[in-house]
Amino acid sequence: MSPSLEHEKSKSTVGLLLETYLRHIGRRFYTTGGYTLGSREEGARGEPDESYNLDAIKPIPDIAIEVVITSDGVNKLEK
Protein backbone atom coordinates (compact mmCIF):
# COMPACT_ATOMS: atom_id res chain seq x y z
CA MET A 1 0.00 0.00 0.00
CA SER A 2 1.40 3.41 -0.90
CA PRO A 3 1.54 6.19 1.71
CA SER A 4 -1.41 8.57 1.91
CA LEU A 5 -1.21 12.28 1.23
CA GLU A 6 -1.77 12.91 4.97
CA HIS A 7 1.19 10.66 5.80
CA GLU A 8 3.50 12.34 3.29
CA LYS A 9 2.54 15.84 4.42
CA SER A 10 3.07 14.93 8.08
CA LYS A 11 6.46 13.31 7.39
CA SER A 12 7.66 16.32 5.42
CA THR A 13 6.44 18.81 8.03
CA VAL A 14 8.15 16.98 10.91
CA GLY A 15 11.36 16.72 8.87
CA LEU A 16 11.32 20.43 7.99
CA LEU A 17 10.70 21.39 11.63
CA LEU A 18 13.60 19.22 12.77
CA GLU A 19 15.93 20.61 10.10
CA THR A 20 14.95 24.19 10.99
CA TYR A 21 15.66 23.52 14.66
CA LEU A 22 19.03 21.90 13.95
CA ARG A 23 20.05 24.85 11.76
CA HIS A 24 18.88 27.28 14.47
CA ILE A 25 21.10 25.66 17.12
CA GLY A 26 24.00 25.36 14.68
CA ARG A 27 24.11 21.57 14.65
CA ARG A 28 25.55 19.84 11.59
CA PHE A 29 23.29 17.12 10.21
CA TYR A 30 22.99 14.82 7.25
CA THR A 31 19.72 13.55 5.84
CA THR A 32 19.85 9.84 5.13
CA GLY A 33 16.31 9.19 3.92
CA GLY A 34 14.40 6.01 4.61
CA TYR A 35 16.76 3.12 3.96
CA THR A 36 16.15 -0.29 5.58
CA LEU A 37 17.37 -0.66 9.17
CA GLY A 38 17.69 -3.78 11.31
CA SER A 39 18.27 -7.37 10.32
CA ARG A 40 16.25 -10.47 9.61
CA GLU A 41 18.14 -12.31 12.35
CA GLU A 42 16.87 -9.79 14.91
CA GLY A 43 13.37 -10.14 13.53
CA ALA A 44 12.96 -6.41 13.18
CA ARG A 45 13.53 -4.67 9.88
CA GLY A 46 11.99 -1.38 9.00
CA GLU A 47 12.30 1.73 6.93
CA PRO A 48 11.84 5.03 8.72
CA ASP A 49 10.10 7.78 6.81
CA GLU A 50 13.13 10.01 7.24
CA SER A 51 16.41 9.66 9.12
CA TYR A 52 19.27 11.91 10.12
CA ASN A 53 22.87 11.64 11.26
CA LEU A 54 24.28 14.30 13.55
CA ASP A 55 27.83 15.60 13.10
CA ALA A 56 28.98 12.80 10.74
CA ILE A 57 27.60 10.16 8.40
CA LYS A 58 27.19 6.85 10.26
CA PRO A 59 25.73 3.44 9.40
CA ILE A 60 22.89 3.85 11.91
CA PRO A 61 21.01 7.16 12.08
CA ASP A 62 20.88 9.24 15.24
CA ILE A 63 17.30 10.31 14.56
CA ALA A 64 14.60 8.37 12.74
CA ILE A 65 11.15 9.75 11.97
CA GLU A 66 8.27 7.32 11.61
CA VAL A 67 4.79 8.74 11.03
CA VAL A 68 2.07 6.29 11.97
CA ILE A 69 -1.49 6.88 10.86
CA THR A 70 -3.65 4.07 12.20
CA SER A 71 -5.79 2.02 9.87
CA ASP A 72 -6.22 -1.25 11.81
CA GLY A 73 -3.01 -2.59 10.30
CA VAL A 74 0.16 -4.01 11.79
CA ASN A 75 1.64 -1.94 14.59
CA LYS A 76 4.99 -0.95 13.06
CA LEU A 77 6.18 0.65 16.28
CA GLU A 78 6.22 -2.76 18.02
CA LYS A 79 9.22 -3.69 15.84
Query: Per-residue pLDDT for 5 more than 90?
Result: no
* pLDDT confidence of residue 7: 82
Give the span between the Cα atoms of 48 and 26, in whole angstroms.
24
**Which residues are within 8 A (CB) of 31 and not within 5 positions of it... i.e. 6 or more apart?**
15, 19, 50, 51, 52
Give the span between the Cα atoms of 74 and 42, in whole angstroms.
18
pLDDT in tens, 17-74: 999 999 999 999 999 876 666 556 666 667 778 899 999 999 889 998 888 877 665 6
- When computed from its CA atoms, the radius of gyration of the chain, rounded to whole angstroms, is 14
* pLDDT confidence of residue 19: 96
The verdict on pTM exceeding 0.85 is no
* pLDDT confidence of residue 59: 86
